[in-house]
Amino acid sequence: MSTPTPAVFCSQVPLADALRRFELFRDLTEEELQWFVEHASDEVFEEGSLLVRDGDEADAMTIIVEGQIRFQSSMPDSPVMIVRPGVATGLLPYSRLQRYGGNAYALTRLRVARVHRDKFRDMLRHVPEMAPRLVAVMSDRIREATRLVEQHEKLKALGKLAAGLAHELNNPASAAQRSAQDLQQWVILLRDSNQALASIGFDARQFQCLLEIEHLMLEGSSLAPELGSVERSDREETLAAWLVKCGIPRGWEFAPVFVEAGVQKESLMEVVECFSDWAREPAIARLASSLAIDRITKGIQTSTRQISDLVQTVKEYSFVDQAPEQEIDVVAGLENTLTMFSHRLRNGIGVVRQYDDVLPRITANGPELNQVWTHLIDNALDAMQDEGTLRIRTSCEPRMVLVEIADTGKGIPPDIADRIFDPFFTTKDVGSGRGLGLDLVFRIVQKHRGDVRFTSRPGDTSFQVRLPMQNIGAF
């Protein structure tokens, strides 16, 4: 810890009175509290002071008397922890901490009481009540640190899924936006063509004739065959040239619409021959705009349906508006999770599904199970470096449901196989993983009274999760 700024205290309250406010010291006798005060240093630091540097030796217990400390681990993307008054931090008796794994700063002007580790044995002899209290503090500290890291890990996983979801939503949303802009132009053309036909004296019989032709074209557009790019281009060029020759200068604009709708030149010949020169172009424009509007609105429906389906998948994945513990359709959860990873399953990854048709529902915590599938699938994709085959299989076993997630990655080396589920153990590059994904998988499966194990060799790594069909009282 760095050298304190001299003399000026955050508060003029005597250290003994300041410590008496905290739970750790509240019931100590006057003699016990006095011993602690006499053997602790009373130090003050200015806001922003560096208290602990990553790698510094942990040599003292620190009690926060006034102010706050900001501590962040040196591990990449680690959560920030705020230490508040009354908390014992730093090296505690019975702790195996040797060096600090991060940096600590005074978040505000700070007053602390420090006891060097050389005095720990005397402290526990003269103040025996401190032993169980500090053990409880250490347990709470481990629990809180674990909770923060787990929460951070979940947020990182959520961030990855959110990025993928944003990518998935962007495509249909952009398509709908472009279609809406095109739709506006064609609606204007439809209105102008109707006005032009009315201004040249189109009567009810002529409008009825045009509407019948339009109806037949719209019906036929749904049956139009898919054309290759070369054939489509040739047809558009031929039709556009013919329309221009028939006195329709905008034929180059209308031809692609007719070709996409499967309209042949023979169908348009009827319009060219039946209507006067003045009515010919607005009639063709009316037909082209109607076909274009029909095509665009169907495209908008498709795009918005994709968005709606994605939103519904997210709601099902996260169990929004549902009780977390309920009867779970395991296959539906797997499929929802695969949808969340769809942005990574398009190019080099093949997915093989082997689902048991009679797989029963199980009683489980839906959001937690989806975390299990998320971490296992994410690890599989990372192992394959986004190129290979992901295999997902479900089956029934006596009183258990089996879910197997396998990949064709490079495999898990035998010398680290027994550490795969250890917290903070990872084979990924620095900054790519914190080694908590499989630890979280293990604990969630254990909570559900299930079992998780794996087999691995190059080109075939398989994680098997077994969950009880009836899980009464597990939560």
What does the block give as tokens for 108? 């505000």
The one-letter amino acid at 458: P
SS3 (DSSP) at 88: strand
Q: Which structural domains are found in the chain, ordered by start? A: 15-128 (2.60.120.10), 164-309 (no CATH), 320-468 (3.30.565.10)
Residue type present at position 426: T
Contacts of 458 (CB under 8 A, 6+ apart): 410, 411
Which residue in the block uniquely carries the two structure tokens 């990372």?
382
**Which ranges of 108-228 would DSSP assign to H, the alpha helix?**
120-126, 130-199, 204-221
Q: pLDDT 10s digit of each residue in the chain, 475 long?
A: 544 444 344 567 899 999 998 988 988 899 999 999 999 999 999 999 999 898 899 899 999 999 999 988 766 566 678 888 988 888 888 887 888 888 899 999 999 999 999 999 999 999 898 888 888 887 777 676 666 666 666 666 666 667 767 777 787 888 888 888 889 999 999 999 989 888 888 878 888 888 888 888 888 887 787 888 888 898 889 999 998 888 888 889 999 999 988 888 888 888 887 777 788 889 899 999 999 999 999 888 888 887 887 777 676 666 555 556 788 899 999 998 888 888 788 778 899 999 998 899 998 888 888 889 988 998 898 889 878 999 999 999 888 999 999 999 988 888 887 777 766 556 554 444 444 578 888 888 988 899 999 999 899 999 999 999 876 455 4
Q: Are strands 349-354 and 50-52 parallel, antiparallel or unpaired?
A: unpaired
Q: Are 390 and 460 in contact (CB under 8 A)?
A: no
The residues facing 310 across adjacent strands are none
CA 475 to CA 467: how far, in whole Å?
14
Q: Specify the 3-state DSSP secondary structure of 128.
A: coil
Closest Cα partner for 83 from 124, 27, 132, 22?
22
Token reading at 337: 């999770």
CA–CA separation, 325 and 474 (whole Å): 10
Angle between helix axes 251-260 and 229-245 (nearest 10 degrees) is 130
Angle (deg, nearest 10), helices 366-384 and 437-447: 150
Question: Distances from the Cα of 279 to the Cαs of 21, 433, 465, in angstroms?
Answer: 94, 69, 71
- Between the alpha carbon of residue 364 and those of residues 260, 315, 355, 368, 373, the distances in Å are 50, 17, 19, 8, 14
- Would you state the structure tokens that stand for residue 361, as one six-digit string? 């529902």
Q: Closest Cα to residue 403, out of 453, 437, 449? A: 453
Whether the Cβ atoms of residue 377 and residue 391 lie closer than 8 Å to each other: no
How far apart, in whole angstroms, are the C-alpha atoms of residue 223 and residue 106?
A: 72
DSSP 418: G
Three-state DSSP string of 310-332: HHHHHHHHHCCCCCCEEEECHHH
- What is the C-alpha to C-alpha distance for residues 240 and 210, in angstroms, rounded to an integer? 20
| Integer Cα distance of 308 and 302 in angstroms | 10
CA distance 333 to 28: 54
Contact 471, 421 (CB under 8 A): no
Q: Residue 232: CA atoms inside 13 Å, Cβ hemisphere, count?
A: 13
In angstroms, the CA 381 to CA 343 distance is: 12
Q: Which tokens belong to 407?
A: 């990949």
Residue keyed to tokens 């200068």: 249
